[in-house]
Amino acid sequence: MSTENDVYAAQETETTEGTVYTVTGGDWDTLIDEEHDDRIVINMGPQHPSTHGVLRLVLELEGETVQQARSVIGYLHTGIEKNCEYRNWTQGVTFVTRMDYLSPIFNEVGYCLAVEKLLGIEPPKRATIGRVLLMEINRIGSHLVCLATGGMELGALTGMTAGFREREEVLHLLEFLTGLRMNHAFVRPGGLAQDLPDGWFERVTDFVALMRERLPQYDKLLTGQTIWRQRLENVGYLPVDGCLALGATGPILRSAGLPWDLRKTEPYCGYEEYDFEVPVAAEGDCYARYRVRLAEIHESLKIIEQAAAKLQENPGPVMVEDRKVAWPAQLSIGGDGMGNSLEHVRKIMGQSMESLIHHFKLVTEGFHVPPGQAYSVVESPRGELGFHLVSDGGTRPLRVHVREPSFVNLQTMPAMSEGGMVADVIAAVASIDPVMGGVDR
């Protein structure tokens, strides 16, 4: 194929190392012809405020009306999928948890479900219930950040301070349960890193009570507030057929009237055993997406209560019994909180030389996974989060690819924004709730 007359073709240069291509931003260059010489092109972003992250939007404006909108991504690229292919299967958890950094537990669970599918193993019941508990706590925190940052970007600063106030409660709870506020790496192939700490039930119960007390304040502050409604109603409209054509999932799709939630339609982690509703709306605008997310927080609180009750009824291990798979989970932490205690090290050293060698090889090399490929999905706060893993029988993945909902949902931005005012682009992007760590990964 000739590229001589292609203005977007990459320029070639022959070097001693081979052919080097110089790629320019041709795919987002906007060429305004004589017919539209009254239009201007502006860049919105990639600075953080009002673009919901390091996202660059190229807007072609006629007055204050958006004629064309394009998103430019890649400013936060981390190469997580490729990095996973150079680490063992367990170490992959520490990478994927950093993709969508507002919902790390979902990344971990989706990845581990795919690994477990390849291994043909089922985690213990207590570990599965624990995963549900952690995911729903995490879902609340993620939705709170969406509401808070959306409020900040639109000028509702009290909504921002309230949202982050409650999110801090979520992070305190997650830190108590897993040891870290974010990027937990607490979910492992085969189960959980450790059992929940003493006092977890009381802390979870107190959190649910606090959220039930605080959530009505959001209805007073935002839901029924005239300015908030006028700012969001009939803005960023996307009907259900547009959502399906663009692959949008999560609150965007449910706000257009389709109750598609993988926890109900394709249950995993025993979600079919929990009693909860799937909030939907019919308007398909920014206000509908706000209401759906707020309603989902209420439903998550229901699931958290049920999961906590199930955990009390299901004592037992949180990691599979197979010592060839199970990462050493029941560790005794040293006094500094940083390493294994001397007693634990003496126990490992004193058992037998064979167990010490096995422990060393499991931690350094990892376990072997049978050849094959698997795809697993979870319902993240932003929609369908899928992991496609390929194994060649080794101790690390041959290929890791993620179907990241923020990346797919971002395609809806032009459809929501074109034909509207430039100020409404900010409302539309906030209602999509893209997390750029997941988009660029």
Give the pLDDT confidence of 326-363 residue by residue, as tens digits.
Answer: 766 555 555 665 566 677 667 766 766 776 777 777 77
Q: Is the pLDDT of residue 83 over 80?
A: yes
SS3 assignment, position 58: strand
Q: Which pLDDT value is given to residue 360?
A: 75
Q: Which pLDDT value is given to residue 74?
A: 86
Model confidence pLDDT, tens digit, residues 286-312: 999 999 999 999 999 999 999 999 999
Q: What is the mean pLDDT of the chain?
A: 86
- Going by C-beta distance under 8 Å and a sequence separation of 6 or more, which residues neighbour residue 291? 223, 255, 279, 281
Percent of the chain with pLDDT over 70: 88
Q: Is the pLDDT of residue 34 over 90?
A: no
Cis before residue 49, ω within 30 degrees of 0? no
Token look-up 């807007």 returns 59
CB-based burial label for 244 (10 Å; 0-12, 13-18, 19+): middle
Model confidence pLDDT, tens digit, residues 228-254: 899 998 998 999 999 999 999 999 999
SS3 assignment, position 375: strand
Reported as type and span, the H/E element at residue 12 is: strand 11-15
Model confidence pLDDT, tens digit, residues 129-140: 999 999 999 999
Q: Which pLDDT value is given to residue 53?
A: 77
Other C-beta atoms closer than 10 Å to the C-beta of 34 total 5
Q: Which pLDDT value is given to residue 144?
A: 94
User: pTM of the entire structure?
Assistant: 0.87
Q: Which pLDDT value is given to residue 332?
A: 58
CB-based burial label for 90 (10 Å; 0-12, 13-18, 19+): buried
Token look-up 């950093």 returns 98
Percent of the chain with pLDDT over 90: 46
Asked if residues 85 and 396 have their Cβ atoms less than 8 Å apart, the reply is yes
Q: Which pLDDT value is given to residue 322?
A: 78
Cα of 333 vs its chain's centroid, Å: 30
- Using left for φ > 0, alpha for ψ between -120 and 50, and beta otherwise, residue 191 falls in left
Model confidence pLDDT, tens digit, residues 250-298: 999 999 989 999 999 999 999 999 999 999 999 989 999 999 999 999 9
Q: Is the pLDDT of residue 26 over 60?
A: no
SS3 assignment, position 44: strand
Torsion 154-159-164-166 (CA) sign: negative
Residues shown for the chain: 441
Encoding tokens for residue 298? 């209420």
Model confidence pLDDT, tens digit, residues 163-191: 999 999 999 999 999 888 899 889 999 88
Asked if residues 440 and 77 have their Cβ atoms less than 8 Å apart, the reply is yes
Beta strands per DSSP E along 131-240: 187-188, 191-192
Distance CA 331, CA 121 (A): 23
